[in-house]
Structure formats: structure tokens, C-alpha cells
Chains A and B, each alone.
Chain A
Amino acid sequence: MKNIIDYIVIGAGASGSAFAWKMSKSGAKVVCLEQGDYVKNNQYPLDKKNIEVSALKDWNWNPNIRKNKFDYPIDNSNSPIHPLMYSSVGGSTLHYTAHTPRFHPSDFKVKTMDNISSDWPISYNDLEKFYDENDEIMLCSGVSGDPANPPRPKRPLGPIPLGKDGEIIASAFDKLHWHWWPSDSYVNSEYFKNNWKFYGSHALMDRNSISSTDQNYLKQASKFGTKIITNSRVSKIILENNYKARGVKYIKDGKEHLIEGKNIVLASNAIGTPRILLMSATNNHENGIGNSSGILGKNLMFHPYSFIRGVLPGNNKFFYGPNANILMSQQFYETDQNKDFYRGFTLQMVRNNGPAFTALELGWGDNHHNEFKRSFGNTVGFSIIAEDLPEETNYISLDNKNLDSDGLPGISVNYNLSTNSRKILDFAMRKTREVLIQAGAEILYETPLMRYAGWHLMGTARMGNDPKNSVTNKFGRLHDVENIYIVDGSLFVTSASVNPTPTIQALALYVAENLIRGQS
């Protein structure tokens, strides 16, 4: 039945779920196409002894290693950082640390503040109420009052205890007179009250302890009428005319289907979304739909990560509690005119892993056992997350040599770490050493650039007011086609230096609400 569907949402992950929930709640008819499947609790690795092997294979963050049927190949040979993602109902929220800080107001206005890059066409104020709404639905744990961030309402759930290791680090920050604050997270602090134990490496935590959009958004969205079609990979957006889409073609069980709807909403992450638009090229959109500016797929941003782990003296057994949602420091978040780089970074404390991942951070060979004995359970680590600025020379393109299981093109990533990002990381590593030494660390293990750390995919279909240098308008609608919207991290103009999930979800809710109000 033609045009009975109001919104065809492509992707049922962090952003597509939030969008589907809000639109279906308003009475719109929504269908979500998801290339992955539902993941039941019993499909998750439950035996903690096997968690690490699972994280190295079937639950590897890297689609090139996991190679599930719903993954598409990504050629990383021209990138020092490899993109990571998970396709399923719930998307990457089924396999994330759920560390959920917000962008700062300055992050939306780096051109105005620092005369670099571009401003977003929207501000923190435009997103603030959607951050709040999302935090309520995703059940944010945390504590208000962070001096590095604008005030925000009381967190829906209380903070997660820091643990002994977290308290040692907090004390080190205090001695240095540096900012730190307990991390906002979508990990359920109530659950932890009676379950303070080892929660596993690589974000493979107990499903009951963490929020994900299959549970927190889509269950309710389904009650409002959202229909989710799984194992369905979109191959092409079909246009009715040059300026209007008619529907999408998707492949399910090897057969191609056409679904028609009034609006198309892309929520497939900053690699999957431009991939679909590029695959949808027509004679009149020969470089892909929405690409009259020529920048679709360009300005790819990751968050470049460094990592330092310090070994504390003693036999500590610092395993208890969530792996990464402990505390963060934004002491060096903003541009400082006295430094030789723009923007800054966030430090995020990371707890001990299980044995295999502990070993992988150490050397191999004759000294391995000594290093392991010294490190296992005795470390505190810091992920250093740097702001990445957009550059058109960092881009994704279709890779017609490597095809997915349905014969569609894979993706080639072309990315170089900028001089600015390297300078941020080098400075940040020096400051991280200071904290760890202040905390008593005796040995440091350092990774100057984490290769398998492309969790945060951003910027490949940026929003803006000028169609010449942006892909969508400030409401997420393509400049070139009147009824195609983007609601994921592709929209980001700049990247900030925090995990992007709450901002991605707030953007999805913002786009949805404006559509409900008739603004697009």
C-alpha cells in the first residue's frame, strides 16, 4: 500500500531507535529496517571465563574479524584507526561501555570560539532538553554538579561507586588540583548495589546492568506501532523524482524487496549512512544522493585514542565494578592559547581487564610472566580521547572489490591522523603520566595511538546552513532531497572529545521533534 508508512528508518541502533520511539509515540507509522538481528540474552556470553575469547571472536568490535553475515567489509589499509561497530536491533548499544558524557556548549561553536573548522548550525541549547529526555529513557547514572559542564537535572539514577581504584585516582586528581568527576553512564547503578563484582572485559557486561536501545526505546516504540524488519540490508534509496524519495530497496534472505514511504530516515552510523547514499547514485545524482556539495563521505572523524596503564604497588584485585564507567577528567578540554594545538581531550579511567586482555597489553617473551604477575589486578588505566577536527582528506568511499554477503560494495577508509590530533595526544600522555605517578604507579604501559579504537564514527554527512559545504540542513534533512533525513553521527560538524552516543541520540530526538512540529 503506497505511502502508508510515514517514516522508513534505516538502522535500529542508538539513533534509529530513539527516532522511531519519538515518531511512533506521536502517532506516525514507522518501519525500521535493520541489517542485523535481535540478540537474546542467552546469545550473549554469560560465562565470564569465556568472555574474553568471545570478545576476540564472535563479539569482536571489528566487523572485519567478526565477519557476521550482516557485516560489510571495511578496507582499513589506508587508516591507522580501524572503524568498529555492531549491527543488531539495538546496534552498538549492545556492545558499548555506555560512558555517556555530553558535548560542551563550546563544542558546537569552535569556529566562533577558536577560529577553526566550522560551527554547528545548532547549539547546546537546541539539544539540551533532548539530552535530558534521552538520559531519562536510557536511565543515566551519575551525579549533578560537575564544574566542567553546564548544570543538568538530577540524574535518573545515583552514581556508581568509584571502587578503591577509583578513589585512589580521584585523590591523585585532587592533589594535582585538576578536575575530575564521576562519569555519567547508561550503566544501572541500582543493579550494582547488590552485584559489585567483575563485569568482564570489552564491554561485555551483564545485560541487566546496562541500558541499550532495544530495551529502553524499541520495546516501547513497538507498543506505539513501530515495526522492525530484521536481517534486511538496504541496497538503494529509490527516488520518485530528482528531489523526492519514493522508498528503499532492501535485501532479505537473498531476495530484493521494495518498501515505499513518505520519508526516509538514515540511522546507520557515519559509515553505513554515506554508504547507502553513495550506493543510491542515479543519473542525476551520479555521485550519490545528497552529494551535490561533493562532501558526502568526507570529513570522517574518529576520536584518536592514546592509552596508558599504570601498575600500582601491592596485590590489589582491582577487578570489581564496570570496566570503564568510573570517572573522567576534563581539565584540558578547551583550547588553551598557550599550547600549540587547538581544542583538547578527556581522560577516562579504565579498570583492570581479565587475564587475556591484561596479557595483550604486556610484552610477550621471557619477561611475560613477571609482567603479568605484577600487573594482573593491580593496574589503573586511562583512555585519552582527543578531539578530532574535520578534514575533507579523511573520507570513506565505496569499495567495489570487497563485497558484502549480499554482493553490495564494502567501504574503503582513507584517514590520516592530523598534526593537531597528534599534538593533543602527546600533551595528554604527559599529563596522564603525571596523574598515574601521583597515584603511585610504578610501571607504565603506553600506547601512543590505539589502532582498534574507531568506536566513534562522525562527520561524513555534516549538517549546515550552506548547501555548498554541508549535506543536510539544521533539521537533518538533505539539502538535495526533500524527504530524506539523517539522524546519526554523520551529522556531526565537529567531534568534541567525549563519547558521542548521547549527542547522537539527542540529535535523533531533536530531528524527530522538529518533524512533529512541522519544522524540517
Chain B
Amino acid sequence: MKFKEIFNDNDKRIIKEIMNIMVPENEEIEAAGDKGLFNEMEKIFFDSKVHVNSFRRILDAIHLNIDVRLSGSFFSLTKENKIEILKNLEKNMFDEFQILKESIFGTYYSDSEVLKKIGWDNDFINKTEVKENVWNPKILEKVKKIEPFWKKI
């Protein structure tokens, strides 16, 4: 299932906006949508019908939202309004919103620039820490003083 076949340009703009709201820019990196991670998310997650359908339901709910309809579009709303809509969706469409969140965070925290910034590179994650890998039996000294308390029957 191709993303392009499922979502129109307006839908894509809304998803990018949601990405920007959920993972905004920081001092070094652009917001998730502005960073172009929308295309990455498509590659990673949108071969899954479950993921596509969850996004579809979220978008449908946004299109039907009374504030969106009154103001003409999602983009006409203030940031606070948009956040409020998303928080309501998180509460009322928990499973779909969870998949949306997983897709956005899963994509953002797979990006090489982001991983480099947070120190999550191959050198770190494959590093063996040698100082901590010894069992210290002294750690049990206090708890061993507790009398056995399991109930016999």
C-alpha cells in the first residue's frame, strides 16, 4: 500500500504539522516535519496497513472536528487549538494515536543526525562496559538478614 495513494497533499501537510507539534525544533535540529522526516516515516512505517489505517482515522477525526470545520482548516487554528485537538485524540482514539506517536518518534529517533546529537552512535551502543560486569555478593548482606517470610502451607 503506497502512502501517496492513501493520503492527499492536504493530509500530508497535516501530518507534517502534527510531527512539528509533537517533536518541535530545538537549538540544533529542526522540527520533525520540517526536517523532512515525513518521507522517512513513509519508508519505515507505511508498508503496514495497520499504520496507514491508524493515520487515516486520525486524519478523518481531524477533518470532522468542529473547530476545524468552523475555521475552514486545521491550519487556520492557533497552535494551542491544534494541541488541544491532538490531546483529545490521544484520549479518545488511544490505539490509533499510539501508533501515530510510535511512527513519529520511531522515525525521529532513527535519524542519523538526531542519534548523533544524543550520543546514540555505533561506538556507544556496541561498547562493552567493563567496570560494571562483576557480581558483587556483598550487595546481599543486608537483605540476607531478613528472616524467610514466605508462607508455608
Please determine whether B125 and A179 come into contact, CB atoms closer than 8 angstroms.
Answer: no
Query: When each residue 177-211 of chain A gets 1 if its CB lies under 8 Å from chain B and 0 otherwise, what string results?
Result: 00111100000010011111110000000000000
What residues of B have a CB within 8 angstroms of the CB of A444 in the complex?
none
How long is the Cα–Cα vector from A170 to B146 in the complex, in angstroms? 14
A164: Cβ under 8 A from any B Cβ: yes
Can you list 13 A-B contacts with CB-CB less than 8 angstroms, sorted by A residue number?
A: A53-B106, A56-B106, A158-B135, A160-B135, A161-B134, A162-B135, A167-B139, A180-B143, A192-B133, A196-B132, A356-B110, A359-B105, A364-B22
Any chain B CB within 8 A of the CB of A258? no
Is the Cβ of B49 less than 8 Å from the Cβ of A359? no
Flag B120-153 by CB within 8 Å of A: 1 or 0 each.
1010111111101111100110111011111111
- Give the contact-size bracket for chain A: 35 or more
Chain A residues in contact with chain B, CB under 8 A? 48-50, 52-53, 56-57, 64-65, 67, 104-106, 108-109, 112-113, 123, 143, 145, 147-150, 158-164, 167, 170, 173-174, 179-182, 189, 192-198, 319-321, 334, 354-356, 359-360, 364-366, 368-369, 372, 376, 451-452
Q: Does B59 contact A (CB under 8 A)?
A: no
Instruction: With a 10 A CB-CB cut-off, give which of B109, B118, B127 has the most chain A CB atoms.
Output: B109
Query: Closest CB-CB distance, A493 to chain B, in whole Å?
Result: 15
The answer to whether A451 touches B136, judged by C-beta atoms less than 8 angstroms apart, is no
- Beta-carbon contacts under 8 Å, B18-68 to A: 21-24, 26, 44-45, 48-50
The CA of A64 and the CA of B143, in the complex, are separated in Å by 43
From B1-9, B69-77, B94-102, the one touching the partner chain is: B94-102
With contacts A147-B144, A158-B135 known, is A360 near B102, CB below 8 A?
yes
**Residue in contact with A179 in the complex, picked from B109, B130, B132, B143, CB distance below 8 Å:** B143
Interface size band for B: 35 or more
Pairwise interchain contact B143-A369, C-beta atoms closer than 8 A:
no
Given contacts A162-B136, A180-B143, are A106 and B26 in contact (CB under 8 A)? Answer: no
Residues on B facing A (Cβ under 8 Å) = 21-24, 26, 44-45, 48-50, 83, 94, 98-99, 101-106, 108-110, 114-115, 118, 120, 122, 124-130, 132-136, 139-140, 142-144, 146-153
Closest chain A CB from B76 CB (angstroms): 20
With A and B bound together, what is the CA distance between A364 and B144 in angstroms? 43
Given A52-B109, A143-B140, A321-B22 contact (CB < 8 Å): no
A150–B150 CB distance below 8 A = yes
User: Are B146 and A49 within 8 A (Cβ)?
Assistant: no
Q: What distance in Å separates the Cβ of B102 from its nearest Cβ neighbour in chain A? A: 5
Of B45, B99, B122, B136, which one neighbours A161 at CB under 8 angstroms?
B136
